[in-house]
Structure 1
Amino acid sequence: MARISYGSIYRQLLTFDDGKGSKERPVFVLDSDADDVYFFAISTKKGKEHQRKYRPAFLGWRQSGLTEPSYILIDDPPYILKKSLFTKDKYIGEASDFDINTLESHISDLGLDK
């Protein structure tokens, strides 16, 4: 099994919020336990004006193995999927320390770190 840790980037099939369809997209791992992985989705869309404060830019996207400029979609609570879905073939790479620190600062600024 590939490394599943804070800042790992994987591809996962995510269901849309309205439940009508799904899309494979990269995800940013936040944490895991014996059965589950907690994560934020990653998108290439900056989002509408009111969404942008919840979508910090992923500046090291290329170094992390992504193919396009990307944004981390901060959701509270984060997504949860079974750990068994995070297989080696779904692994993309690791976020840089800079991107991890930027995300943590952004979460703190939004007051979601409490």
Structure 2
Amino acid sequence: MDKNNRIEKKRRQEIEMLDCMIRIYCRGNHGTKEKLCEDCQALREYAVTRTQKCPFMEIKTFCSACKVHCYSTQMQQRVKAVMRYAGPRMLFVHPVMALKHVKVTLAEKKKNSRKGM
């Protein structure tokens, strides 16, 4: 797989993870079934746009681990709330996706602790 395909695959996976977590959050907090509420749809669109334009996709793991935070402060807070709520619930909805996310997160933390970050 060439570099561009690898980056696009990673981008798609990140968008899929965001989408899944926002859906879990919206369903649990706003009572939606099929469609997202207006606020969650706006958050999803914002996050997808940022992910599609990310120049660091090749080297970063997740936005939370990135040195450059391109989300506005308000959107960062909203995404953090989504992650805090949906993260633990991912194990029941998409266990494989959740375990992959945990594995990458732990590997990144271990790498950063070796670097003294």
- Normalised-by-shorter TM-score class: under 0.3
Higher strand share: 1
Higher helix share: 2
The two structures have a TM-score, normalised by structure 2, of 0.27
